[in-house]
Amino acid sequence: MYEVFKSSKPYMDTVASAFELTPQQLFALKNLSVERAMAMSELASTLGCDASNVTSIVDRLEARGLVERRSSELDRRVKALVITTAGLDVREKIHERMQQPPPAIDNLSSADQDVLCTILARALATMGTPTTP
């Protein structure tokens, strides 16, 4: 399994690059909540990185107009992130692009891909992770 993930890194780099993003920026954009502002500390936790790393990621996303920093309604010292209309547009295009499987999966037969998708959906369900169609 590790080898499949490792072989997909160049694919993820290519996808991110197509949107003039780093992989970290791509994952940050994909993980921001559409329904509510997200504290930078929450994004850091979601990405599994230090808050100082999130600051530089968000700086670049904000410079491109994809996210905005706002003071939290509950605590003005806390900065919350809101995805912009431009950010939503890029995120939708990323979602569409990521529906194309990486080469390691794309080289499988359609039947094998269907079985793999079913198995992975079940694995995600055991972790409480929702799947998207």
pLDDT tens per residue across span 69-108: 988 777 777 888 999 999 999 999 999 998 888 888 889 9
The span from the CA of 102 to the CA of 8, in Å, is 6
**Percent of the chain whose predicted confidence (pLDDT) is above 70:** 96
Q: What tens digit of pLDDT does each residue of 20-37 get?
A: 999 999 999 999 988 889
> Is residue 53 a contact partner of residue 43, using CB atoms and an 8 Å limit?
no
pTM of the model: 0.80
Task: Give the count of alpha carbons within 13 A of 86, CB side only.
Answer: 9
The secondary structure of 3-56 as a DSSP string is HHHHHTHHHHHHHHHHTT--HHHHHHHHHS-SSS-EEHHHHHHHHTS-HHHHHH
Domains of the chain: 2-99 (1.10.10.10), 101-133 (no CATH)
